[in-house]
Amino acid sequence: MSAEFSFTVHATDEQARLGAISTPRGVIRTPAFMPVGTAATVKAMSPDAVRALGYDVVLCNTYHLMLAPGAERIAALGGLHRFMNWAHPILTDSGGFQVMSLARLRKLSERGVIFQSHIDGSRHELTPERAMQVQRLLGSDIQMQFDECVRLPCEHEEAERAMRLSLRWAERSKDAFGHEPGRAIFGIVQGGTEKDLRRFSAQGLVETGFHGYAIGGLAVGEPQAAMLDMIDIVVPHLPSDRPRYLMGVGTPDDLLRSVKRGVDMFDCVLPTRAGRHGLVFTRRGRLNLRNARFADDARPVDPLSSSPMARDYSRAYWRHLAKSGEILGMMGLTEINLAYYHDLMSGARQAISEGRLDAYITEAQRNWAEGEAEGR
């Protein structure tokens, strides 16, 4: 633990890095997956339960929290950590993606975005300055620049316009962030699936200078190969002494392939959202527990899971809860998925330390494929 924000690489395995992000609120072991707690809660999980699984950091969202209950209210109540009773690091997304994907009647300008809330239609404005102000009021440990995230696919001209605007907003975000001892601001590389734009964005952000660098605007419907190609393009242009964060990703296979390419941090709603709908991730692949074939299946979900929910209850029981809409079903299956994601990243960290990440990935992929072949 450190009084300042810092990042240390402890070991490498080709491009992959084993490291640690130190903050006043604790150490984030990398590669790290961050559970998404959009509105100051990881859905169907208590903060204590998330911590008990071994997680070091969670993600919350500026857009949602500024709409409800309000950043000023959270600040008056002691800040986001106290508000949600999570004493460990928090990363906040700046809200740019949500403005573009959720808000109604957006009006984009050089200044920022004026939009109507998707909740009640109320009118709001987000600018780089306001996004950083909200994150300061929340008191998050890692804060993201405000950016524009375009929908893919899009024309080169549109991707370039949004990328250049995001670069200008990055400078304003950094200026508005100022100096916050112990806290960090990350820039976000944009540029769609255009190689030249991604390089230009990465180089521009590095010139501006940030504590860490994210790759945004991916995992929004493009093929996995295109996402991985953009990572390969961007990573060589990012400083080796700063953390790299791939936003909104992803599947277990996405995570491992990206770790191999030198990415340190991830977030995605997939494990929590899937769990609430009866889909679980295991060493043998995905199981849709709502399927009829599990109605009489007395086997545990995964006997080697770190979660007792996966070890001590039958698939038949979880299917019953999922089909019945029971709250315990949502809670238990969410925990199973988050436990799997944590185990996956913990295993990757161990594999990097031992110089055997390729073998670890190959084994994981073989287990997933064999599980699917067996109809599990």
Give one DSSP letter per residue of 109-151, joined into a string: -SS-EEEE-TTT--EEEE-HHHHHHHHHHHT-SEEEPP-----
The residues near 149 (Cβ < 8 Å, ≥ 6 apart) are 96, 97, 100, 101, 162, 190, 216, 217, 220
CA distance linking residue 338 with residue 45, whole number of Å: 10
* Phi, psi at 10, each rounded to 5°: -95, -30
Place of tokens 């527990």: 289
Beta bridge partner(s), residue 212 = 186
CA distance linking residue 163 with residue 201, whole number of Å: 7
- 120 belongs to the catalytic site: no
Q: Which of 111, 202, 193 is nearest to 159 (CA)?
A: 193
The residues near 175 (Cβ < 8 Å, ≥ 6 apart) are none
- Tally Cβ neighbours within 10 Å of residue 215: 28
- 267 belongs to the catalytic site: yes
Catalytic residue among 13, 56, 93, 141: 93
Q: Which of 80, 95, 94, 93 is nearest to 25 (CA)?
A: 80
Evaluate whether 349 touches 18 at the Cβ level (below 8 Å): yes
The DSSP 8-state label assigned to residue 209 in this structure reads -
Three-state secondary structure call for residue 22: strand
Catalytic residue among 56, 147, 264, 267: 267
Residues marked as catalytic:
93, 267
